[in-house]
Amino acid sequence: MIPNLNIVPFVSVDHMMKLVLKIGVERFLTELAACIEEDFRRWHAFDKTPRVASHSADGVIELMPTSDSRNYGFKYVNGHPKNTREGRQTVTAFGVLSDVATGYPVLMTEMTILTALRTAATSAVAAKPLAPRGATCMAIIGNGAQSEFQALAFKALLGIRELRLYDIDPDATAKCARNLAGMGFSITTCRSAQEAVEGAHIITTVTADKQYATILTDNMVGAGVHINAVGGDCPGKTELHRDILLRSDIFVEYPPQTRIEGEIQQLPADYPVTELWQVLTGAAEGRRDARQITLFDSVGFATEDFSALRYVRDQIVGTGLYQELDMLADPDEPRDLFGMLLRAASPPGAVAA
Cα 345 to chain centroid distance, Å, stands at 45
DSSP β-ladder status, 71-79 and 60-67: antiparallel
Cα 267 to chain centroid distance, Å, stands at 24
Catalytic residue among 39, 167, 233, 305: 233
Cα separations (Å) of 8 from 1, 56, 71, 341? 10, 33, 15, 20
Catalytic, 233? Answer yes
Residues 6+ apart with CB under 8 A from 33: 121, 122, 124, 125, 153, 157
Classify the C-alpha dihedral 134-137-138-144 as positive or negative.
Answer: positive
Dihedral over alpha carbons 312, 315, 321, 327 (to 10 degrees): 50
Do the Cβ atoms of 321 and 50 come closer than 8 Å? Answer: no
Q: Which residues are catalytic?
A: 233
